[in-house]
Structure 1
Amino acid sequence: MDLHTRKLRAFVVLAEELNFGRAAARLFLAQQALSRLIREVEDEVGAALFTRTTRKVELTSAGRAFRDGAVAALAALDHAEAEALRRARAVSGTLHLGYTVGAALELTEPILSEFRSRYPDVELASREYSLADPDAGLISGSADVSIIRLPVSTPGLRTVSLFTEPLVALVSKGHRLAGRESVRAGELLDDSVTLSELEDPARREFWTLAAFRAPESPAVVVPVGSVTEEAHIVASGRAVAITAAAATRFMPFPGIEHVPISDAPRSVVALAWTGRATSLVTRFVEVALAVRDRETNLVNGIEHPLA
């Protein structure tokens, strides 16, 4: 037996309607055409599937058995077709995500979870990069898209702002500005400033408040190799650290106070990539921005970049 699905569907519809007129209308066929299809089905099965009178149409015992099998067969075929189409359209592959310390703060996990939920066939490989790699793997090619803090001097980056947050000064408990509700940038210019030894030039200017200094009076920098080392240096009173407000939540440390800088520019956390964005990068950016718009009001200090 080699029944076409068109004939099976015609049979199932008639088995549901038990009326040639209504079944033909559902199938967009003439009644004679439907009658011919049903005869062909019965010929191929080798049994009468319906009893027909001028008043009604009924399934025979053989027809009821065949109906159950036909419905199951068509359902299985429809499922297989839908699954094949879903897989053909599915987004797959590997997306390499780089990020610098802190990544997207409290939004990091919601962004990653949402992306994995939307694109379960994509492998999301994430890696944290040191402060010595401010583009978080983009130029080396080990990352497809990165979460970084601007500004950076790396050429050729394409970026979209994710959110901004204010700057704070980390000072020792014994510092002259400790206990203040806020300070102005100019009040910090006489202090040495901690900074990564291999800091990017644009970042060096930003995190030493160079915009507030005279060209002939650059900051005195105390180099640090890690966040922990920076905290010890600040606590000892050897220098202050200029950092983002997230430090108040993620960097509590004995002997240190966090003082907001009232007139400093805000720190920008951005998504970055090089060249033309791949489809996976585009999808990741779309997810990250959607999560940002949904949840940034839950995180103190974070603002939409256009706010």
Structure 2
Amino acid sequence: MEFRQLQLFVAVAEELHFGRAASRIGMAQPPFSQQIRRLEAELGVTLLTRTSRRVALTAAGARLLEEARSLLARRVDVITSIQRAAHGETGTLRVGFAASSAFGVLPAIVSRYRERFPHVTLELDDRESLNVGAALVGGELDVAILRAPFRHPGVTTERLLSEPFALALPSAHPRAEQRAITLSTLANEPFVLFPRHSAPGLHDTVTSMCLAAGFSPRVVQEASSWPSVIGLVEAGMGLTLAPTSAQALKPRGVVFRPLRGAHGQAELTLAYPGPQPSPAAARFRALAHEAVARTRAH
């Protein structure tokens, strides 16, 4: 039994006239009638009673009409589902991100993606950068947003965003009123940073900036998320260098000041396994760049 035979049967079952049904399908009546007889022979039942005056459905024909309509509708649904999956419009997209990138554009990207592709299940996975490469190559993740630099065999990366660092310090700090602060003057200040195992790219960039300014940062406390880092700064534990987008956290007791004499950028990287992203990951990538462009425009 073929889908084409079912289509022909539904036509004659609805028209109850072989000539009109054949015309509706776009076939000559003799081969149309032959297909119906072949279907009856394959099923071993009589689907239609035929007289010179009328065509009627048998009990088996009435049941097949019901089932055939369901099968044909299901066939369309399956084809549509397959095509949508091929275009990245259904299924599951597993997105990895480091805690150091969990603010700024990430919420905007996720919000836009969910709005644009509501039939894709978005799974967000917050893990350490050192594990993301293996997760991408191993098929646990489809795409990731990380702090640069990031490299891993078998993983393609591309720059998503580059922004300057700002100094975050308690609002009660003696230097909080300064409009801009020279990095080299912070040599004796205590710092709060991400631990290197959690955000190696960010940690190394901040450390390199301080070394270029003539000192090694005196790290008194570490924390693995930006709310925690900024919370420690607000508590007076120390200062930190943060991407300017960290100001989106809007902490009450912390001020952000531009840096003078600082050479370094906070970069976000988009990463995916292989030379090309999957269809769903490709759509996520496009929306990610779109969200970054909108952020810069505002």
Instruction: Report the TM-score range of the alignment, normalised by the length of the smaller protein.
Output: 0.5 to 0.7
2:161 corresponds in structure 1 to 163
- Sort the Cα spacing of 1:201 and 1:223 in 2 relative to 1 into closer, same or farther, 3 A: farther
2:296 corresponds in structure 1 to 303
From the CA coordinates, give the structure whose radius of gyration is larger. 1
Aligned partners of 2:147, 2:220: CA distance in 1, in Å?
19
Within-5 A mapping of 1:212-223: 213=212, 217-223=214-220
1:76 corresponds in structure 2 to 70
Q: CA deviation at 1:46?
A: 7.9
- Sort the Cα spacing of 1:201 and 1:270 in 2 relative to 1 into closer, same or farther, 3 A: closer
Aligned partners of 1:46, 1:86: CA distance in 2, in Å?
30
Q: CA deviation at 1:125?
A: 5.8
Deviations 1:88-118 (A, max 9, x none): 7757688473422342542264267469844
2:180 corresponds in structure 1 to 183
Compare 220-229 and 15-24 and name the one that shifted more.
15-24
Letter in 2 for 1:285: A
Deviations 1:152-171 (A, max 9, x none): 5x554531233344422112
1:55 corresponds in structure 2 to none
SS of aligned partner of 2:166: strand
Q: CA deviation at 1:63?
A: 3.6
With normalisation by structure 1, the TM-score equals 0.64
Deviations 1:127-173 (A, max 9, x none): 343xxxx4453357786343211235x55453123334442211233
Letter in 1 for 2:215: P
Aligned partners of 1:165, 1:221: CA distance in 2, in Å?
24
Letter in 2 for 1:71: L
Q: What is the identity percentage for the equivalent residue pairs of Structure 1 and Structure 2?
A: 18
1:290 corresponds in structure 2 to 286
- Sort the Cα spacing of 1:102 and 1:125 in 2 relative to 1 into closer, same or farther, 3 A: closer
- Sort the Cα spacing of 1:64 and 1:261 in 2 relative to 1 into closer, same or farther, 3 A: farther
- Sort the Cα spacing of 1:76 and 1:208 in 2 relative to 1 into closer, same or farther, 3 A: same
2:28 corresponds in structure 1 to 30
Deviations 1:188-211 (A, max 9, x none): 211034434536775345224628
Within-5 A mapping of 1:271-286: 271-273=270-272, 276=274, 282-286=278-282
Q: Are the counterparts in 2 of residues 100 and 147 from structure 1 also a CA contact under 8 Å?
A: no
SS of aligned partner of 2:176: coil
Q: CA deviation at 1:242?
A: 1.0
Aligned partners of 2:212, 2:62: CA distance in 1, in Å?
84
Q: Are the counterparts in 2 of residues 151 and 202 from structure 1 also a CA contact under 8 Å?
A: yes
Aligned partners of 1:111, 1:135: CA distance in 2, in Å?
28
- Sort the Cα spacing of 1:270 and 1:8 in 2 relative to 1 into closer, same or farther, 3 A: closer
2:240 corresponds in structure 1 to 241
Q: Are the counterparts in 2 of residues 166 and 266 from structure 1 also a CA contact under 8 Å?
A: yes
With normalisation by structure 2, the TM-score equals 0.66
Letter in 2 for 1:220: P
Deviations 1:203-236 (A, max 9, x none): 345224628935xx23333242215366435753
SS of aligned partner of 2:177: coil
CA RMSD of aligned residues (A): 4.6
